[in-house]
Amino acid sequence: MKYILGKAAVAGLLALAGTAHADINIGVSLSLTGPLASLGLPVKASLDLWPDRIAGEKIKLVVLDDASDSTAAAKNARRFVIENKADLLLGSSGVPGVFAMAPVASKAKTVQLALAPAPRPGGKDDWTFPLPQPVSLMSDAVAKRMVADKIKKVAFLGWNEGYGEMWLQAFTASARKAGLEIVATERFAPQDTAITAQALKAIAAKPDAVLIVGAGSAAAMPQINMRDRGWSGPIYQTHGAASPDLVRVGGKAMNGAILPAGPVLVAEQLAANNPIKPVALDYVNAFEKTHGANSRTQFGAHAHDALKVLQRIVPLALKKAKPGTPEFRQALRDALESEKEIVISHGVLNFTPADHIGFDERAAVMLKIDGGQFVLQR
């Protein structure tokens, strides 16, 4: 969906966002209600762990619920820029929300750190930088694992919105490269509570394995349905499903599922010399001290990663301009595109003016659900 801003609105975004202020204002749009709430709520809880200041400057977070609705996400972004004079935007939790906020970020020339893996073109007009791993990277990891597991035919069972569409396109390409055949393509909505018809069609195609594409706890439902319909073969999930909620909701039906994820989900299982391990453990230890053992999610970790990014770029931006000015916002972007090897809990970032993805293969690990636990596959 495209969001078009009129000339008057664009002028308002730029003019009203141009006055200097003492704090670094960050507008945060999260899905705290609706079908993507299991993605947004851990982020909100993780923001509570942020320090009050970065590089000596006070941080002011304004958090709004977009109710898993892309129109609301765009509205929140406009409010942040115009009313709150945001120096940076954070959000949203889902791909459609990220796409909705991106035009606002671009017109206001304000960096958006996205919390969902929306693909970005890069270039001077693109002000959006995703913190989750790109779907193409994770899709290639899944296809590679399928080949190792001697899978030849795959049934695709995924959401019929932005995240599902990205995975369908990416996995079609990954499967082609890996020599895999997609024998069925079935879609369903994030809010669906059953997919009996789709499950039966997928099974009837006689695949060697099924790839389920959903996010958060909602990704458990199709796997439960597949097991209930008699499917006993391998099931692969995606990094959008990698959370304790998946296991909590799916129970024993989730055992055996294989999925890609960010390293933070299995921080303790990473090799001692992995540079991501200490950063991931910092987040895990802080979050689980408050919320209990095994409460971490890779979604909440994106908030920690946003903090790590800001701790690298804010000191550099402050050398050039004060918060609340166009110059400061430009300086944040310049620092983001020039800093190298920014280690976060999900990987290592190397953004450039032409590349707003920034991840490499260090951002992907393969996991298996065994006895209700995520186990690193080496």
Query: Tens of pLDDT along 280-293?
Result: 999 999 999 999 99
CATH 3.40.50.2300 fits 7-133+294-359, yes or no: yes
* Fold agreement between 7-133+294-359 and 135-261: yes
Provide the residue ranges of all domains of the chain, joining segments of one domain with +: 7-133+294-359, 135-261
pLDDT above 70 (res 16):
no
The confidence band for 180, taking pLDDT boundaries of 50, 70 and 90, is very high
As a whole number, mean pLDDT of residues 339-351 equals 98
pLDDT above 80 (res 8):
no
Which residues sit opposite 181 in a β-bridge? 153
Distance CA 354, CA 344 (A): 21
pLDDT of residue 38: 86
pLDDT of residue 17: 47
- At 232, phi and psi to the nearest 5? -115, 0
The confidence band for 35, taking pLDDT boundaries of 50, 70 and 90, is confident
**pLDDT > 90: what percent of the chain?**
85
pLDDT of residue 242: 85
Mutual orientation of helices 70-82 and 95-108 as an angle, nearest 10°?
A: 30
- 88-91 sheet: strands from edge to edge: 53-54, 57-65, 24-30, 88-91, 112-114, 128-130
Query: Tens of pLDDT along 226-255?
Result: 999 999 999 999 998 888 888 989 999 999
The confidence band for 72, taking pLDDT boundaries of 50, 70 and 90, is very high
Query: Tens of pLDDT along 161-175?
Result: 888 999 999 999 999
135-261 is classed in which CATH architecture? 3-Layer(aba) Sandwich (3.40)
pLDDT of residue 243: 82
